[in-house]
Amino acid sequence: MNFGGADGPTFPGEGFTPGGHPAGHTTAQADAAHRHPAPFAFGGRYELGRLLGRGGMAEVHLAHDTRLDRVVAVKTLRADLTHDADLQARFRREAQSTASLNHPAIAAVYDTGEDLGHGADGGAVALPYLVMEYVDGMPLSDALFAEPALTPDRVLELTEGVLQALAHSHRQGIVHRDIKPANVMVTRTGQVKVMDFGIARDLRDAGLTRTSMVIGTAQYLSPEQALGEEIDARSDLYSVGCLLYELLTYRPPFVDESPMAVMYRHVQEAPQPPSLFNPLVTPAVDALVLRALEKDRAHRHRSAEEMLDEIGACLGRRTFAPAVQPPQQEDDSGADDRGGRRATVALLVAAAAVVVLAIGLGWFMLGRGPADDGRVDVPALVGQTLDDARRAADNVGLTVTVTAKEPCEDQPKGHVCTQSPADGRLAEGEAVALTVSTGSPEVEVPDVLDKDEDDASRILADKGFQVTTRHVESAEETGTVLDQDPDGGEKAERGGEITLTVAKEAARSTVPDLVGRTVDEATELLAEHDLELGDTTRVESDATAGTVIGQSEREGAEVDPGTTVDVQVAEAKETVEIPGDIVGGTLAEVRGELAGLGLGVSVASGSSQASDAVVTSSTPTVGSEVARGSTVIVVTEETPSGDEESTQGASPSPTTGTTAP
């Protein structure tokens, strides 16, 4: 539980033993016992038990209210800080802020005062204290890592509780300014309790905080808080956006090495969508969170009610709450007559506030005036669990007694069906008689398999069941009910929950164009489309070496996520030079020489194919660079036979008509 200051501690919720005495001892408790020897009672009424937690400015003890015989938590300013006037003012401000708020989602302050204690030097000091509702549960900062894991829907439901508390405080003109997981408790029954209004600001009190002062926790600060500007209710909504982001993704929207660096990122950087870290987050929830985290508060939700309405839409229901404009600082520009009217109104409001505050403080400090005749209003308990009803009655000094347990048409098992009296006033300590439900009557569950989701939900709702849905990828038509739990035909409690498994379209990936990209670039591009690189084949090509020249899946094709795409990659061709000595050689010699260089030989049409024919020219010409494996075309001439050479080489005889001697 968190009852400390801005850096509030966390601790487990444990109760008292019978008689109001603290159960068990730890080192911290022994230390507390040393500083407050038993019996030690603040205000002569609150017997301190073990130390529950210690924060930056306060300590919280489990305590027993001897007057009303109930467990409470007593928060005191740390003894070593009792001489700090600013901290004392802040401590009193928390009492004033929280005491003015009365809402089930806000941890209540029952009493406040001062008592003598021992300072750090051992001397007697006046210790201010708050008597607070004891919340049995854990902070969201712990619930985030508890089992089972929080689903996005459960996160939205918890955030609804926080926003309901803020909607109430904002209507009272109070801004919390330190919303974070450690300052929000979840009870054992799942109820949300917002804690620690220690740095809350009443917007009607302009002198409470200097404009340039930065207050809050860095990871959850709104940009205007980080800049030390004036704040309004929308600053709390930004912090709720940070809290919602962390509950969905297990990390705040901005993380860095120092608080100053985190504050800078709040002011300068846009957050990543939560779905980037949690694929279960829907686009609607992405939009909700990113709107809450807008840098310009004018672009955020205008009120906690408006944000609640959007959460309701994300959960499949709408509240259509009226939009409430957040309290804002007045713009003092404009005509003098408007400024004069504003000044007059401000003075009237301030005067009225002083009167109301004076009456309220007198009522609070002096026994709550003549109307406090020892009788209290009877709380509405119908619909609550028995444990919650006991706590609600205990909070106003009443008790409860269970007079009957019977089936109840409109209440699930363990919830209050009726109460007597239903309203009015009772003397403190009197009992409210309760009838507790043993469960709604069981009815047959309709079979809605293969029906459309909307039709199935309507059929089940008409039978009085609550419906939850989960969507799974399927080849069936989108929206078709694939399964239901409990099955159709079974008996189930009216008002119970039926879970439907509904088909949704299987995700598809689009194949990108990889041609012209390097292998690394292709790998990265495929990953962006949820695809993988398959085999790479090297192919000689005139394209740039190392680039993709072909792919197994065509560009733009729709394929299953995770599909592998094979590619062909260009490889430079090897070249050789046609030697110059082939001219004049025989065809057989040229064939052998060029074959040794990886080249083929083809004889030109009309040239001799004889192996001893002489090569006279080639195409490409000698000295040219050609790709290995190319074919060289040669032109040849036949070699003259031996007789012809003799005849042609002999000198002709003169034709004189005479015979040579």
Round to whole Å and give the CA distance between 13 and 3. Answer: 12
User: Hunting for tokens 């195409």 — which residue is that?
Assistant: 619
Give the pLDDT confidence score for residue 400 in this predicted structure.
84
DSSP for 595-623, please give it: HHTT-EEEEPTTS---TTPEEEEEESPTT
Give the pLDDT confidence score for residue 590 in this predicted structure.
94
The better pLDDT of the pair 657, 122 is held by 122
Q: What angle do CA 53, 59, 61 make, to 5 degrees?
A: 70
Question: Over the stretch 167-212, which tens digit does the pLDDT of each residue have?
Answer: 999 998 888 888 999 889 999 888 999 987 756 555 544 333 333 3
Kind and range of the H or E element at 54?
strand 46-54
Look at residue 239 and tell me whether its pLDDT is greater than 80: yes
Look at residue 360 and tell me whether its pLDDT is greater than 60: no
The b-or-e profile of 376-394 (16+ CB within 10 A means b, else e) is bebbebbebbbebbbbbbb
Residue 248 has φ and ψ, to the nearest 5°, of: -80, -30
Round to whole Å and give the CA distance between 305 and 162. Answer: 11
Kind and range of the H or E element at 239?
helix 233-249
Q: 282-286 contacts: CB < 8 A, separation 24 or more?
A: 282/152, 282/314, 284/313, 284/314, 285/152, 285/156, 285/248, 285/314
Residues marked as catalytic: 178
Give the pLDDT confidence score for residue 118 in this predicted structure.
59
Give the pLDDT confidence score for residue 50 in this predicted structure.
87
Give the pLDDT confidence score for residue 310 in this predicted structure.
95
Give the pLDDT confidence score for residue 9 in this predicted structure.
32
Residue 466 has φ and ψ, to the nearest 5°, of: -90, 140
Residue 589 has φ and ψ, to the nearest 5°, of: -65, -40
Give the pLDDT confidence score for residue 438 in this predicted structure.
84
Sheet holding 631-637, edge to edge: 600-603, 631-637, 614-619
The pLDDT of 41-51, averaged and rounded, is 85
Give the pLDDT confidence score for residue 375 in this predicted structure.
83
Question: Over the stretch 555-576, which tens digit does the pLDDT of each residue have?
Answer: 999 888 999 999 999 988 888 9
659: pLDDT confidence band, cut at 50, 70 and 90?
very low
Return the number of other C-beta atoms located less than 10 Å from residue 586's C-beta: 17
Look at residue 467 and tell me whether its pLDDT is greater than 80: yes
Look at residue 228 and tell me whether its pLDDT is greater than 70: yes
First-to-final CA distance of the chain: 145
The better pLDDT of the pair 216, 257 is held by 257
Q: What angle do CA 60, 64, 67 make, to 5 degrees?
A: 130
The better pLDDT of the pair 233, 660 is held by 233
The pLDDT of 650-659, averaged and rounded, is 38
Look at residue 357 and tell me whether its pLDDT is greater than 90: no
Q: 558 pairs with which residues across the strands?
A: 510
Question: Of the given ranges (126-130, 131-135, 353-357), which has the lowest mean pLDDT?
Answer: 353-357
Round to whole Å and give the CA distance between 445 and 497. Answer: 11
Q: Return the percent helix, strand and coil in the chain, to nearest 5.
A: 30, 25, 45
Give the pLDDT confidence score for residue 13 in this predicted structure.
34
641: pLDDT confidence band, cut at 50, 70 and 90?
low
Round to whole Å and give the CA distance between 522 and 559. Answer: 17
- DSSP reduced 3-state for 330: coil
Q: What angle do CA 654, 660, 661 make, to 5 degrees?
A: 155
Within 8 A by CB and 6+ apart from 233, the residues are: 166, 170, 175, 203, 303, 304, 326, 327
Question: Over the stretch 381-416, which tens digit does the pLDDT of each residue have?
Answer: 998 998 888 888 888 888 888 888 888 877 878 889
Look at residue 351 and tell me whether its pLDDT is greater than 60: no
Question: Over the stretch 507-522, which tens digit does the pLDDT of each residue have?
Answer: 889 999 999 999 999 9
The pLDDT of 609-621, averaged and rounded, is 93
The binding site consists of 75
Using an 8 Å Cβ cutoff, are 560 and 592 in contact? Answer: no
Q: 283: which 2 tokens?
A: 């686009």
Give the pLDDT confidence score for residue 128 in this predicted structure.
84
Using an 8 Å Cβ cutoff, are 398 and 429 in contact? Answer: yes
Question: Over the stretch 304-349, which tens digit does the pLDDT of each residue have?
Answer: 999 999 999 999 875 444 433 444 443 433 334 444 444 444 444 4
Using an 8 Å Cβ cutoff, are 502 and 482 in contact? Answer: yes
- DSSP reduced 3-state for 646: helix
The binding site for ATP consists of 75
Round to whole Å and give the CA distance between 440 and 493. Answer: 5
- Select the highest-mean-pLDDT range: 93-102, 220-229, 526-535: 526-535
Confidence (pTM): 0.45
The pLDDT of 466-470, averaged and rounded, is 90
Round to whole Å and give the CA distance between 3 and 15. Answer: 16
- DSSP reduced 3-state for 500: strand
Question: Of the given ranges (230-239, 435-444, 455-464, 578-587), which has the lowest mean pLDDT?
Answer: 435-444
The better pLDDT of the pair 630, 442 is held by 630
